[in-house]
Amino acid sequence: MIVRNKKQIKQGLQDGEIHFGLVNVHDSRAIHSLDATFLGHLEFLTFVQKGGELSKLSPSKAVTTLSRERQFILRSLVEEGMRDKVVLSSDHEEVDQLALIIKMVGLGLGWTLLPKSIVRSKHFSEDIEILKVDQMLEGFKFGMALWCPHSKQISDIKKSILRAVHTFIDESYAAAAAAEK
């Protein structure tokens, strides 16, 4: 598995270098030249240091306080044109690596918005937790799709990938629900 931005994935699919891509489609059009299957929404929640100062914020005061605290943002989200959707603090820093963001949040150096599904990832740390925020009845949601070229030869592989993705999504929701309790 390789990580690329949406533009690179589209070019790779057109050139035949990439056969499948999981793509953030927060600003995509419904009609384009690729075979696209909408997978649903990836939900982003607020994560803070477990037991740290920010974890003690009341849900009603969280947004006000977080807007002044250091926020770590995945650079890939900014590169995908989502800066205005994910930057909530005037004190923010773009970071390339997910594992580094989790480490810094776990050390109490700031907070972040991460996919809810992170709680069942190998990158998840016992040093971070989800912070409840009154102004967010649900997390920020961004559409995801599976892109591939139109081809009968890869249809069985596509079905297999879709089954695996749906299983992962179902298991992630269950793990995230357990982590929120």
**Position 97 in a domain:** yes
Q: Which residues are registered as beta bridge partners of 128?
A: 49
pLDDT digits (tens, 9 = 90+) for 72-126: 999 888 888 889 889 999 999 999 988 899 999 999 999 999 988 777 666 677 8
**Position 40 in a domain:** yes
**Position 72 in a domain:** yes
CATH number where 17 lies = 3.40.190.290
Structural domains of the chain, count: 1
Mean pLDDT of 150-157: 90
pLDDT at 1 (0 to 100): 59
Measure Cα distances from 54 to 7, 48, 93, 102 in Å. 36, 6, 17, 15
**Position 179 in a domain:** no
pLDDT digits (tens, 9 = 90+) for 22-68: 888 866 666 677 888 888 888 889 999 999 999 999 999 999 999 99
C-alpha to C-alpha distance for 73 and 101, rounded to whole angstroms: 8
Q: Which domain holds residue 113?
A: 6-173
99 HSE (CA, 13 A, CB side): 2
**Position 178 in a domain:** no
